[in-house]
Amino acid sequence: MRVMMPSALRSYTGAGEVEAEGETLAALLDDLDRRYPGIRFRVVDEQDRIRRHIRFFINGEQSFDLALKLEPDAEIYIVQALSGG
């Protein structure tokens, strides 16, 4: 699957687009963490919840469900909210 990375996570991946596998969004994040250690903790907290400033879009649809089933040809966008003043 193609996973599009926000610029804040590219220090882990070295690219704006990477490949990963997984039957669910949680499994995809586990695969990303195997390939790019530490990346999962940047998007999921200690209670296994998606962090407030992170959004996942799967084939154009926003999802907050780590158990969401993924199709092998899915396109996943990880979007990080900007903050500041």
85 located within any domain: no
Asked whether residue 57 is assigned to any structural domain, the reply reads yes
For the segment 6-17, the average pLDDT, to the nearest whole number, is 95
Count of domains in the chain? 1
pLDDT of residue 29: 97
Listing from the earlier edge strand, what are the strands of the sheet with 75-80?
Answer: 17-19, 2-4, 75-80, 54-58, 61-63
Sequence-ordered list of residues with C-beta below 8 angstroms from that of 64, at least 6 positions apart, any chain: 50, 56
**pLDDT one-digit tens code per residue, 38-60:** 999 999 999 999 999 999 999 99
Confidence of residue 82 (pLDDT cuts 50, 70, 90): confident
As a whole number, mean pLDDT of residues 10-19 equals 96
CATH number, domain at 63? Answer: 3.10.20.30
Q: Is residue 42 part of a domain?
A: yes
What is the extent of the structural domain holding 15? 2-80
Q: Where do we find the tokens 């999962």?
A: 40
Q: Structure pTM?
A: 0.91
Residue 10 lies inside a defined structural domain of this protein: yes
Lowest mean pLDDT among 32-41, 58-67, 74-83: 74-83
Helix (H) or strand (E) holding 39: helix 39-43
Task: Specify if 72 maps to a domain.
Answer: yes
The answer to whether residues 37 and 29 touch, using CB atoms and an 8 Å cutoff, is no
